[in-house]
């Protein structure tokens, strides 16, 4: 049954009547003033948008070509936090300009790899710090105040800008969100009818839901205070269990709407939200888990273009052995990660290896980029006089497990 809805006078979003008063009392504190959304710069490709390639191309067409760059200079220490700060403090140009990543103390010139490395780290940081992982994706969490106080209150909007820029300029897709979060980003409103217990990932509320479902006539009264704090206005008893569960589900997700709204505002940078609203099914893989975009061991080995020595020579045999060991090493990292159920440090994973080599740890989204993506592998058999340490490492890897 569809709940009775009314519009909040502050944020202009519809909410159930039994929750509206509670929401309005805190809405003014949670919604911060946001600067105007950048003017639409996205151009639809000829023939309209028909697939994911067209979506990415349409967003990429929004990158400014006025000759200016959006320069971000950061240190590798606390890269994510420093990246957020410097992104917000950059006032000379807009994120619609080509992003240029500069790492303090490093002489590298950004020809694309440093930009992709920066965006890869930032998108992973957004997932880790602003979202909590669930069974079918991630939902937002309220960031820890101990570090968020050091940056602007527009941090969630900045996260949206970074996600849009990542899609437009060759970074990874933020495909880690739960379906209900993606629907809100598309429409700007919440579909109350489709929300259920599976959409709640906050431990506090999942625990309360579990207690309510297993409660007896006596134990449910012990949960009265927690239930009333979730906006339930009726009596607390077993006969009202379904209504209580519904109140908890709505409360757990409605409190996250201000965060999603600011992320959505930031994603308007390249008119991304406009495209998502018009083509929700096509854009869905960019935000909801489904299509594998994380580079695995098989993908990395498949794109490695090794320059082997003459066939049948001793050098060629050593080179093939070395590539076999590299493949075994990457596959074992992947297997350890799968069996433990925990993600290893970025440098100890197949995506981390690919990011170290190329600047990006994801599979290119565009089919054209995917076909042309190659890692050239060259072998040095005369490096002992130049790099003694490297020679030792080469021998260690070459004869590993033989």
Instruction: Encode pLDDT of 44-78 as tens digits.
Output: 555 578 888 889 889 988 898 888 999 999 988 88
With respect to residue 36, please indicate whether it lies within any of the assigned structural domains.
no
Q: Is 381 contained in some domain?
A: yes
> How many other C-beta atoms lie within 10 A of the C-beta of residue 209?
18
Centre a 10 Å sphere on the Cβ of residue 244 and count the other Cβ atoms it contains: 26
59 and 144 share a domain? yes
Q: Are residues 158 and 84 in the same domain?
A: yes
Selection from 24-33, 37-46, 300-309, 380-389 with the highest mean pLDDT: 300-309
The count of domains in the chain is: 3
Q: Is 282 in the same domain as 163?
A: yes
Judge contact between 119 and 162, C-beta under 8 A.
yes
Q: What is the mean pLDDT of the chain?
A: 79
Cα 282 from Cα 50, distance rounded (Å)? 8
Query: CATH number for the domain including 95?
Result: 3.90.1750.10
Query: What's the pLDDT score for residue 180?
Result: 92
303 and 392 share a domain?
yes
Q: What is the pLDDT of residue 196?
A: 87
Tell me: do 79 and 175 sit in the same domain. Answer: yes
Give the closest residue to 184 by CA, choosing from 280, 116, 105, 112. 280
Residues 239 and 177 placed together within one structural domain of the fold: no
| Chain CA centroid to CA 246, Å | 29
According to the model, what pLDDT value does residue 8 have? Answer: 67
Query: Would you say 192 and 132 are in contact if contact means Cβ atoms under 8 Å apart?
Result: no
Least confident among 25-29, 35-39, 282-286, 387-391: 35-39
Q: Is 44 within a domain? A: no
Task: Please name the residues in contact with 135: beta carbons below 8 A apart, sequence gap of 6 or more.
Answer: 198
Across 107-225, where does the E strand assignment appear? 131-133, 138-140
Q: Which residues constitute the domain of residue 229?
A: 5-29+196-247
What SS3 state is found at 128?
helix
Tokens coding 191: 């579909």
Residue 6 backbone phi and psi in degrees, to 5: -150, 155
Residue that is written with structure tokens 């992947």 in the block: 334
Distance between CA atoms of 387 and 394, rounded to whole angstroms?
10
Do 64 and 186 reside in the same domain of the chain?
A: yes
Q: For 196-349, where are the alpha helices, taking DSSP H only?
A: 203-213, 224-229, 241-254, 257-267, 272-278, 280-283, 297-303, 314-340
pLDDT at 38: 41
Across the strands, what pairs with 14? 7
Comparing CA positions, the residue from 364, 161, 163, 362 lying closest to residue 265 is 161
Q: Which phi-psi region, left, alpha or beta, contains residue 333 (left: φ > 0; alpha: ψ -120 to 50)? A: alpha
Contact between 86 and 151 under an 8 Å Cβ cutoff? The reply is no
- What is the average per-residue pLDDT within 190-209? 86
Residues 77 and 182 in one domain: yes
As given in the structure block, the two tokens for residue 133 are 């992982």
> Taking the CB of residue 179, how many other CB atoms lie within 10 A of it?
18
Q: Would you call 311 helix, strand, or coil by DSSP?
A: coil
Q: Is residue 240 part of a domain?
A: yes
The pLDDT tens digits for 225-254 are: 998 988 888 888 888 998 999 999 988 888
Answer yes or no: do 15 and 132 share one domain.
Answer: no
- Helix 241-254 crosses helix 203-213 at what angle (to 10 degrees)? 180
pLDDT for res 52: 87
The whole-model pTM stands at 0.73
SS3 call for 70: strand
In-domain check, residue 40:
no
| Per-residue tokens: 225 | 């205070």
- Same domain as 362, residue 342: yes
Cα gap 354→266, rounded to integer Å: 29
Share of the chain above pLDDT 90, in %: 21
Residue 45 located in a structural domain: no
Report the pLDDT averaged over residues 338-357.
69
200 and 93 both lie in a single domain: no
Strand, coil or helix: 162: helix
> What 3-state DSSP class applies to 339?
helix
Q: Given this model, what pLDDT does residue 233 score?
A: 84
| 35 domain residue, yes or no | no
Predicted local distance difference test score (pLDDT) of residue 181: 93
* Structural domain contains residue 69: yes
Q: What is the mean pLDDT of residues 116-134?
A: 90
Is residue 181 within 8 A of residue 140, CB to CB? The reply is yes
Asked if residue 392 and residue 370 are part of one domain, the reply reads yes
């Amino acid at each position: 049954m569809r709940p009775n809805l009314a519009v909040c006078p502050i944020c202009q979003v519809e909410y159930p009547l039994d929750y509206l008063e509670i929401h309005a009392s805190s809405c003014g504190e949670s919604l911060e003033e946001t600067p105007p959304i950048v003017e639409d710069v996205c151009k639809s490709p000829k023939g309209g948008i028909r697939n994911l390639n067209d979506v990415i191309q349409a967003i990429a067409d929004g990158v400014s070509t006025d000759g200016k760059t959006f320069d971000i200079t950061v240190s590798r220490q606390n890269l994510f936090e420093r990246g957020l700060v410097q992104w917000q403090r950059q006032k000379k140009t807009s994120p619609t300009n080509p992003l240029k990543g500069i790492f303090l103390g490093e002489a590298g010139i950004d020809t694309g790899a440093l930009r992709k490395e920066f965006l890869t780290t930032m998108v992973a940081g957004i997932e880790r710090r602003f979202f909590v992982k669930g069974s079918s994706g991630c939902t937002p969490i309220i960031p820890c105040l101990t570090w968020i106080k050091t940056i602007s209150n527009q941090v969630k909007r900045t996260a949206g800008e970074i996600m849009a820029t990542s899609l437009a300029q060759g970074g990874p897709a933020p495909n880690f969100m739960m379906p209900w979060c993606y629907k809100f980003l598309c429409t700007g409103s919440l579909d109350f009818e489709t929300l259920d217990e599976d959409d709640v990932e906050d431990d506090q509320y999942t625990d309360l839901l579990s207690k309510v479902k297993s409660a007896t006539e006596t134990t449910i009264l012990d949960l009265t205070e927690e239930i009333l704090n979730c906006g339930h206005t009726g009596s607390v008893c077993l006969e009202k269990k379904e209504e209580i569960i519904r109140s908890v589900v709505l409360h757990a997700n409605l409190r996250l709407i201000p965060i999603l709204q600011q992320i959505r505002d930031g994603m308007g940078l390249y008119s991304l939200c406009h495209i998502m609203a018009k083509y929700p099914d096509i854009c869905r893989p960019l935000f909801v888990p489904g299509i594998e975009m994380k580079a695995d061991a098989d993908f990395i080995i498949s794109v490695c273009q090794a320059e082997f020595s003459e066939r049948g020579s001793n050098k060629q045999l050593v080179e093939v052995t070395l590539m076999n060991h590299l493949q075994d090493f990457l596959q074992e990292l992947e297997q350890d990660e799968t069996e433990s159920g925990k993600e290893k440090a970025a440098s100890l994973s197949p995506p981390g290896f690919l990011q170290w080599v190329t600047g990006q740890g994801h599979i290119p989204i565009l089919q054209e980029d995917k076909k042309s993506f190659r890692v050239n592998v060259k072998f040095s058999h005369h490096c002992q006089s130049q790099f003694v340490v490297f020679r030792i490492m080469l021998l260690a890897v070459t004869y590993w497990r033989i």
